[in-house]
């Protein structure tokens, strides 16, 4: 996969949810003649709108955005799928003489682009449904204990709360008979442009970030999030899907199932997103390639 602009940078702006990534990416794009590629694992889905903070046309300010709202929420879309789509978009953008600007908070997507995964088996939906059923009945900790017995090395690396990746590691074991950790060295070569990706992560003051998360969550519910989830369920999107597994969507499903009150769903969603922001920051700190900054200090020129 050859690049047409081997001397030009590619920018990646990461950070926790609600840290100002979109506004900064748009400002940068306007200054360097760039186009934005999304790497948020929820913004990729069609119809999953209110609680995803997808940029409005006004927020885009005329800048072209890619990989937003293009995946059917009933489809199992993986990090490897995104990496393939993003690599193609990078080549398209550079082919037009413009600068690609990756923006989002799903660090695993970006790492998969820079360090491709090994060739893994296609998802066995029946197996995935069984594992999700176990998670719903016994909790994420139970899945993690299963993985610890079958693949201790993967269990050591994965947090029990990261149940989607725990499930994927279990799927690979049951489908191939081999541990996920044993297959990790069999990665494909990074794309030629990988070394040109300049990595930045935004870290706003923690109290300001949490206040913004709380207010944004309340705004999502007042904007009709419950009705959006009802509509998605009516269209056949499973409550167990990756799309509806996102924070507020998951809690709304619990509310609609009678498992919690609306007030509880709102407060739990706030807590979920605050905890997710912590995990995002922890993820990015593990990679010394990132340069830490905040939106006010970033020089778009």
Say if residue 214 is in the same domain as residue 246. Answer: yes
183's CB contacts (< 8 A; 6+ apart) are: 118, 120, 172, 176
Looking at the domain assignment, is residue 95 inside a domain?
yes
Say if residue 21 is in the same domain as residue 50. Answer: yes
pLDDT reported for residue 242: 86
> How high is the mean pLDDT of the chain?
91
Say if residue 133 is in the same domain as residue 177. Answer: yes
Say if residue 104 is in the same domain as residue 14. Answer: yes
pLDDT reported for residue 7: 81
Looking at the domain assignment, is residue 19 inside a domain?
yes
pLDDT in tens, 90-122: 999 999 999 999 999 999 999 999 988 656 677
Say if residue 174 is in the same domain as residue 112. Answer: no
Average pLDDT over residues 64-74: 96
Looking at the domain assignment, is residue 4 inside a domain?
no
Say if residue 85 is in the same domain as residue 17. Answer: yes
pTM summary value: 0.79
Average pLDDT over residues 178-205: 85
Q: In the sheet where 34-38 sits, what is the strand order? A: 65-66, 34-38, 99-103, 10-14, 197-202, 291-293
pLDDT reported for residue 184: 62
Number of domains observed in the structure of the chain: 3
Average pLDDT over residues 182-206: 85
Average pLDDT over residues 59-73: 97
Looking at the domain assignment, is residue 1 inside a domain?
no
Say if residue 17 is in the same domain as residue 87. Answer: yes
Of the residues 183, 217, 232, the one at which a domain ends: 183
Looking at the domain assignment, is residue 196 inside a domain?
yes
Look-up: residue for tokens 């597994």?
A: 245
Say if residue 217 is in the same domain as residue 278. Answer: yes
269: left (phi over 0), alpha (psi -120 to 50) or beta: alpha
18: its two tokens: 């609600």
Domain holding 252, by residue range, is 206-282
- 23: part of which helix (H) or strand (E)? helix 21-32
Looking at the domain assignment, is residue 93 inside a domain?
yes
Say if residue 95 is in the same domain as residue 193. Answer: yes
Report the CATH number that the domain containing residue 194 is assigned in CATH.
Answer: 3.40.50.300
**Alpha-carbon distances of 98 from 11, 30, 219, 253, rounded to whole Å:** 12, 11, 35, 42
Q: Is the dihedral of CA 276, 290, 80, 115 positive or negative?
A: negative
Q: Residue 299 half-sphere exposure, CB side, CA atoms within 13 Å?
A: 1
Q: In a 10 Å sphere around its CB, with 0-12 CB exposed, 13-18 middle and 19+ buried, how is residue 25 labelled?
A: buried
Reply yes or no on whether the pLDDT at 187 is more than 70. no
Say if residue 162 is in the same domain as residue 271. Answer: no
Of 80-94, 127-141, 176-190, where does the model show the most confidence? 80-94
Reply yes or no on whether the pLDDT at 186 is more than 80. no
Looking at the domain assignment, is residue 145 inside a domain?
yes
Q: In a 10 Å sphere around its CB, with 0-12 CB exposed, 13-18 middle and 19+ buried, how is residue 257 labelled?
A: exposed
Under the banding of pLDDT at 50, 70 and 90, the label for residue 51 is very high
Of the residues 137, 152, 183, the one at which a domain ends: 183
Report the CATH number that the domain containing residue 176 is assigned in CATH.
Answer: 1.10.20.140
Looking at the domain assignment, is residue 5 inside a domain?
no
Say if residue 193 is in the same domain as residue 176. Answer: no
Say if residue 200 is in the same domain as residue 103. Answer: yes
Backbone angles phi, psi at 52, to 5 degrees: -100, -10
């Amino acid at each position: 996969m050859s690049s047409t602009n081997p001397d030009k940078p590619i920018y990646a702006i990461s950070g926790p949810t609600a840290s100002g990534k979109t506004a900064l990416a748009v400002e940068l794009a306007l200054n360097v003649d760039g186009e934005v590629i999304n790497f948020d694992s929820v913004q990729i889905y069609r119809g999953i709108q209110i609680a995803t903070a997808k940029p409005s046309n006004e927020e885009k300010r005329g800048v072209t955005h890619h990989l937003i709202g293009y995946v059917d929420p009933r489809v199992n879309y993986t990090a490897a799928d995104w990496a393939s789509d993003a690599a193609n978009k990078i080549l398209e953008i550079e082919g037009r003489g413009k600068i690609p600007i990756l923006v989002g908070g799903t660090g695993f997507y970006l790492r998969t682009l820079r360090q491709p995964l090994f060739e893994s088996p296609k998802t066995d939906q029946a197996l995935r449904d069984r594992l999700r059923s176990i998670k719903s009945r016994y909790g994420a900790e139970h899945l993690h204990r299963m993985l610890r017995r079958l693949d201790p090395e993967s269990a050591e690396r994965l947090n029990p709360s990261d149940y989607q990746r725990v499930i994927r590691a279990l799927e690979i074991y049951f489908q191939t008979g081999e541990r996920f950790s044993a297959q990790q060295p069999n990665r494909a070569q990074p794309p030629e442009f990988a070394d040109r990706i300049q990595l930045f992560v935004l870290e706003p003051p923690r109290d300001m970030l949490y206040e913004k998360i709380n207010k944004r969550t309340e705004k999502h519910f007042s904007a009709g999030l419950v009705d959006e989830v009802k509509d998605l369920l009516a269209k056949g999107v499973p409550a167990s899907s990756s799309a509806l597994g996102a924070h507020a969507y998951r809690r709304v499903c619990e509310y609609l199932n009678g498992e919690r009150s609306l007030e509880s769903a709102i407060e739990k969603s706030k807590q979920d997103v605050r905890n997710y922001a912590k995990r995002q920051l922890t993820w990015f700190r593990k990679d010394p390639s990132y340069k830490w900054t905040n939106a006010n200090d970033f020089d778009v020129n």
